[in-house]
Structure 1
Amino acid sequence: MSKREFFKVIELPRAFAIIADQVPRPSLESESVPLDACLGRYLARDVFAEEDIPPFNRSIMDGFAVRSSDTFGATAGSPAYLEVSGAVRMGMAADLSIAPGQAAAIPTGGMLPQGADAVVMIEHTAPIDESTIEVGKPVAPGENVVSAGEDFRTGDLLMKAGMRLRPQDLGALAALGHGSIDVFRPVRVGILSTGDEIVDVDAPVGPGQLRDVNYYAIAGLVRSSGSEPVRLGICPDDAALIRDRLAGAIDTCDIVIVSGGSSVGAADIAPEVIDGLGEPGILIHGIAVKPGKPSIIAVADGTPVFGLPGHPVSAFDIYNLLVDRLIGLFYGGEDSRWSTRPQIRAKLGRNLSSVSGREDRIRVTLEQREDGIWANPLMGKSGLISLLVRADGVAVIPFEAEGIERGGEVCVELF
């Protein structure tokens, strides 16, 4: 089969469906990891609350613990007068009770004493003498109090397996006493850079040569996906050398990425090499997206292999669109938290034309104006690294559109 026969452009939704339906998913082992090393890792098991949080009724203001009924009708001109029976000490059980007509000083975070059902903020009180305060504003039952179990109740499902842990999730796990947590091992993503012109970052650059930009950019994306990049090095445009390097990688990596050589020119040998690595071979070669049209998705004996264009902007986009999506599936993600990046709506800063049947992705800077957020396109070719550095995000012209006029609303995926 000629390598040109592989190239058949399909729309993005079809590519997503093929990834979900036809790319095998590995069985990722779990490992117990200390909580402070779990940021960005993916939960291997559901997490349930094993206790009530907070475990006691807790004040959220400095003030006085009271019976709310004692404050009903209180105003600045006609305050309620309460006897101060004691004080709650921080970090200790409240060893007093509040009878009708009484109050107890309480700090933020203090345990509500028996009999009290609300806290009056200190600024709404004034001392009359050493044992009496006046209250100039009423409080309702439960006001300025977090009740026992209001945050989490014993048995509540807190987090589902496959969820990526954020800073706030680590805080919740700490509140429940988890010093370590079971997470999936990182997905291993092998990255091979190809091209006679590519040299390592520390090597002298001769005429016609370029440093290996894509490995470092893609490796950063892999890490941002909670996974582990595996450097497979740099190969010249030699089919046998590329085949040998990839043959070892498909046995040790969960995903393999080939950067460069995915197009249909005479020197682009990646399609033929990738298709010959194992069954079933190439599933997709050509996606109706700009940049990134000549991208490849294949499976070699159970290991997914991606052929990304050599241009940095194209490689960056296709990773975010396809590889990141597959990694999310590997970790068990089934919702929009893994399949999409943060997005905003903005007004387009200039007219942009497109072709119906192709999704165009334009790097933009964002500007806050009086009438809203504007997305200003950064025009340039997909080989320009500066586009990635200068952009705040990507404006998406959907495949059914033939362009968007200046001032029209556009979806921007944030970096």
Structure 2
Amino acid sequence: MQSIQSSQEAIALENKYGAHNYHPLPVVLSKGEGVYLWDVEGKKYYDFLSAYSAVNQGHCHPRIKDALIDQAGTLTLTSRAFYNDVLGPFEKYLTEYFGFDKVLPMNTGAEGVETAIKIARKWGYEKKGIPENEAKIIVAENNFHGRTTTIISFSNDENARKNFGPYTGGFVKVPYDDVDALEEALKDPAVVAFLVEPIQGEAGVYVPSEDFIVKSKAACENANVLFIADEIQTGIARTGSLLAVCGNCSCEGHCERGSTYTKPDMLILGKAISGGFYPVSAVLADDHIMEVIKPGQHGSTFGGNPLGTKVAMAALEVVRDEKLAQNARRLGEIFRERMEKLVEKYPIVKLVRGKGLLNAVVINDSEDSSTAWDICVALKENGLLAKPTHGNIIRFAPPLVMTEDQLHECCDIIEKTIKNF
């Protein structure tokens, strides 16, 4: 393999040989540890994106790394043509950890969403009695659930949709955080599920009303419709609880289903479930839902492989043992308080919103401006990596292993950058 000598060389290679389906910040990373990243030239940065919340446990966490190395030297893949000695323990561990009867393991977040859609439709035909091919799934406007053909069919992002049709039917969009609109859509007897992000991350970290999740789940129950929570980005302690649907639950380590917990009918997990070491996703549901899937009707060669499952168990142990949800909740309050002061001092910062360590700062400029991008480039020069979303919004989501001192240092960098900008 060609040895990379400079950032310019690495960027040139990607531009020449790779599809241009991303627009990365101009930094070439070669090492990560905890909350830090280093580029090819050896410059050190704070990571404030966490690979879109996939490395909540920090980069190269030693416990997860050891689990990966140990299993990689024993058995990595059997396919599901045979049993293996890791999948069963993983399924028991995961279902008990999150409080469900069954889990269907896959690899990527988008696969998890596709899996949930298939299960919901089949449940609708076989359990609710909807005529075949008539099932509808309600989704929220401005959602982000992935970029497969089915998923972009119900996206509002025309950049993700245009010239990729024809699109998959069977989806109904309602405004996000609008229970009245949801209840109206639920009157259609062909509806089988409501698929929603408890916080819309990619859309700009939109946090709904405090009672939105509770009321949405109740509305779905009244209509005999499945409530599906996409917690691929918001789950695994990111928002200050194990899951965003935990609300303000202050459980220790992982959710004990306290008074503010809203149990979804189906839960979709990905990203940080494996701490950034290996692609793992999962759909969890109770028996009366999951039993509609029979042999040969859904699967993946790599889904539930020994390497991924062993890594995922180690990653979830880290979340529990290091109390990452509690740390995210505490540091998130400090971060938003620091950012609110910037809103008061600098007109270029319009507002801050978020929960736990999933936060966004809205820049006082139009969505088609380059201001947020330029600020992120300036932040990079000052040693902090973040990325804009939807033009004028900067998402800030550091690894959950960050300390309070490190967070204050990062806030100082952000303030210095905004002030000089």
* Same fold by TM-score greater than 0.5: no
Q: How high is the TM-score relative to the length of structure 2? A: 0.28
RCO higher in structure (CA 8 A, sep ≥6): 2
Which protein has the bigger helix share?
2
Q: How high is the TM-score relative to the length of structure 1? A: 0.28
Which protein has the bigger strand share?
1
Structure with larger Rg: 1
